């Protein structure tokens, strides 16, 4: 599909590095240090302008603080996660809530629902991190993407389609902690995207869902099976 000047690189798991038409770098759920799927040459960033993080679990959140301290991006997170990061010394935190939209550089970011859990589990004891979320991102060229975060399928994905109509959806398919292919196929029915990038699969043995299974279930949707480190544009 036509990404309208946007370049998307999958870093494995739920992590993406996205280059906007204006050349800004947006990271979604950057997990590189201990991510077994992330190629070594993708673990460091030249620059980071924006980070979007969906929830406080280690496989989405554990690198956010260090990347934010180093590159000084705007960090978009749920309000409580933002408070946590600010107490750690992270500047430029743009904590928000579900249903809200904000402009960050040349993107418009809407925080949407996710059906999962959200504690900050990289500390002991676990700290309440607010609810988990997903994001709809609108780029300057008009492309709209939906990163679902970690989630089950939920009926209000239909609302996401009706209000935002994202053309490209990044959906977890690994099963066990999130949707598997069966549920992700139902999510496609609700969201009607042109294309789907399967994510949150293959990282650990329990994440058994595979893109091929989703492809069989949604013949009318373009399933973009990516390799970690691969870029599409
Ligand atoms: Ni999670
Ligand atoms: Mn996860």
Span 81-138, pLDDT tens digits: 999 999 999 999 999 999 999 999 999 999 999 999 999 999 999 999 999 999 999 9
CA of 149 to the centre of ligand 2 (A): 8
Q: What pLDDT does residue 54 have?
A: 98
pLDDT digits (tens, 9 = 90+) for 34-56: 999 999 999 999 999 999 999 99
CA of 216 to the centre of ligand 2 (A): 24
CA of 177 to the centre of ligand 2 (A): 7
154 lies in a domain?
yes
Q: What pLDDT does residue 69 have?
A: 98
Q: Cα–Cα distance between 86 and 51 in angstroms, integer?
A: 14
CA of 42 to the centre of ligand 2 (A): 19
161 lies in a domain?
yes
182 lies in a domain?
yes
Domain of 136?
7-226
Percentage of the chain surpassing pLDDT 90? Answer: 100
Would you say the C-alpha torsion 145, 103, 73, 21 has a positive or negative sign? Answer: positive
CATH number at residue 142: 3.60.15.10
As residues whose CB is below 5 A from the ion ligand 2, the structure lists: 59, 150
Residue 124: other Cβ atoms inside 10 A: 6
CA of 130 to the centre of ligand 1 (A): 13
- Give the count of domains, the chain: 1
CA of 174 to the centre of ligand 2 (A): 10
193 lies in a domain?
yes
45 lies in a domain?
yes
* Tokens coding 125: 């004891």
Using alpha carbons, list the distances in angstroms from residue 149 to 16, 61, 91, 213.
11, 12, 24, 20
pLDDT digits (tens, 9 = 90+) for 190-226: 999 999 999 999 999 999 999 999 999 999 999 999 9
Nearest CA to 13 among 204, 208, 195, 212? Answer: 204
pLDDT digits (tens, 9 = 90+) for 176-194: 999 999 999 999 999 999 9
233 lies in a domain?
no
1 lies in a domain?
no
Give the pLDDT mean for 62-67. Answer: 98
231 lies in a domain?
no
Q: Cα–Cα distance between 80 and 131 in angstroms, integer?
A: 9
């Amino acid at each position: 599909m036509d990404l309208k000047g946007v370049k998307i690189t999958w870093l494995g798991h739920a992590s993406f590095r996205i280059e906007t038409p204006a050349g800004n770098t947006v990271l979604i759920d950057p997990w590189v240090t201990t991510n077994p799927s992330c190629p070594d040459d993708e673990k460091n960033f030249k620059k980071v302008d924006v980070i979007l993080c969906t929830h406080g679990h280690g496989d989405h959140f554990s690198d956010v603080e260090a990347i934010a301290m180093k590159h000084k991006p705007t960090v978009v997170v749920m309000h409580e996660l933002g408070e946590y990061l600010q107490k750690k010394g992270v500047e430029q935190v743009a904590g928000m809530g579900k249903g809200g939209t904000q402009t960050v550089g040349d993107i418009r970011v809407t925080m949407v629902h996710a059906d999962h859990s959200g504690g900050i589990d990289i500390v002991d004891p676990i700290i309440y991190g607010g609810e988990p979320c997903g994001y709809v991102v609108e780029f300057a060229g008009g492309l709209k993407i939906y990163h679902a975060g970690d989630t089950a399928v939920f009926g209000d994905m239909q609302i996401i389609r009706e209000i935002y109509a994202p053309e490209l959806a990044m959906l977890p398919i690994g099963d066990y902690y999130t949707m598997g292919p069966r549920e992700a196929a139902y999510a496609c029915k609700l969201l009607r995207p042109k294309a789907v990038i399967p994510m949150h699969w293959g990282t650990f043995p329990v994440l058994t869902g595979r893109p091929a299974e989703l492809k069989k279930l949604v013949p009318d949707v373009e399933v973009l099976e990516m390799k970690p480190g691969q870029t599409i544009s």
